Amino acid sequence: MDILSSLDPDFERRFGRIVNSRRESDTDVAGAVTSILGSVKASGDKAIVELTQRFDGYSLVEDDDWIITADRCGEAYDALDGELREALDLAAERIRAYHEAQLPENRDYTDDAGVRLGAIWRPVDAAGLYVPGGRAAYPSSLLMNAIPARVAGVERLVVTTPTPKGQSNPLVLAAAHIAGIDEIWRIGGAQAVGALAYGTDRIASVDVITGPGNAYVAEAKRQLYGVVGIDMVAGPSEILVIADGENDPDWIAADLLSQAEHDPTSQSILITDDAGFAAQVEDCVDVQLSQLPTGKTAKASWDAHGAIIVVNDLMSEAPPLANRLAAEHIELAIEQPESMLPLIRHAGSAFLGRMTPEALGDYVAGPNHVLPTGRRARFSSGLSVLDFMKRMSFIEVGDGAFSAIGPAAASLAHAEGLPAHAKSVELRIK
């Protein structure tokens, strides 16, 4: 774990190393994924059967082996502990309410030249949602992906999820029941992404694929972008906490470890203007690591990628550093977070004040927890209903409006060396 001070002579070099560090998987998966996708495109279901047996130890023989039924999802929901069922219902309700407010409005107006212009928003026909079956088998993730799609108006929601040795996660099935998933296929990995994109005899293709996965899933989505739409190419989780010395160090330590426990390649960073507080947080992290059931993973992350940065002035120094990091999550654990928020230009999601831990956003706050990582917050946003919609513009021109703008169009067409374009306009000019 790095400890930096902005007063150190080598601070810029050390901080630059953190900014530019690549925490994506070092495994060269591109070639393997290309081969898998080629097999799925060429052989369809046959390739899916072979790859599922090889990677998951699961045989797809009968029709029932391929799918998880809606009845089974309903049974999983009914079997949940009452408190847990209420928690999932609350999460779904809040996620749905937040995303309903994102729905865009159609436009239809006539401009000063008399041209009618506008745009109509339409949902895609079908969305594929990838749900991991290993370390990251989280029902919250299914809700975060499925509910915005349903709010957008997508008619067909398809889940693919691996079931190693035939085992499925009952919490994920319960979440699928709440979200109203139409199809659940018991396949995973790059081959599942390929099946969703290309389609097979059994599985009809979709228009958009979203959801987290391992390096193979992320690479498959990257390679298939253009065949289908994707949410983003996601990397390891990140949290940046900007905190003054008035915080409880135990709280801040827990916030840092909330992302470190995801994966050994996750990253947790604290920026503070209080060196004594920084030392307290470091001590609290060590204590909590010894008590966490996920301590092995969290410690590997903290030791390899964690950092504590001590600055002289929090308000003037922390925001520029934060913008260079462009972290997935940023907590502003300070007395007046509203004063700093306008200075934060690049982050996936911001959590304001001492009582707003990032973990609330993972579950029940409402905004989507599928967020850009790896500094991609510089140019992209979290998952929203817009990822499942597209905008179609429209134009209507009458005689008077055509006279006003037609000649200019013809002139530009001639200038570009496109006489057929010009003629299609000129024939209509009176």
- Could you tell me if 344 and 369 are in contact, meaning their C-beta atoms sit under 8 angstroms apart? no
> Rounded CA gap, 383 and 150, in Å?
13
Annotation says 328 is catalytic: yes
Question: What are the tokens at 406?
Answer: 């037609």
Q: Are 282 and 303 in contact (CB under 8 A)?
A: no
Q: Which of 262, 329, 346, 369 is catalytic?
A: 329
- The continuous run of DSSP H or E covering 178 comes out as helix 170-179
Regarding beta strands 116-123 and 389-396, do their DSSP bridges make them parallel or antiparallel, or are they unpaired? antiparallel
The structure tokens 């979709």 sit at 206
What's the CA gap between 267 and 11, in Å, rounded? 19
Taking a C-beta distance cutoff of 8 angstroms, is the pair 155, 162 a contact?
Answer: no
What is the C-alpha radius of gyration for the chain, rounded to an integer number of angstroms? Answer: 25
Q: Which one of the listed residues 219, 328, 331, 358 is annotated catalytic?
A: 328
Dist. CA 64–CA 66, nearest whole Å: 5
Write the DSSP assignment of 36-48 as a string of letters.
HHHHHHHHTHHHH
Contact (Cβ atoms closer than 8 angstroms) between residue 287 and residue 321: no
Residue numbers annotated as active site: 328-329
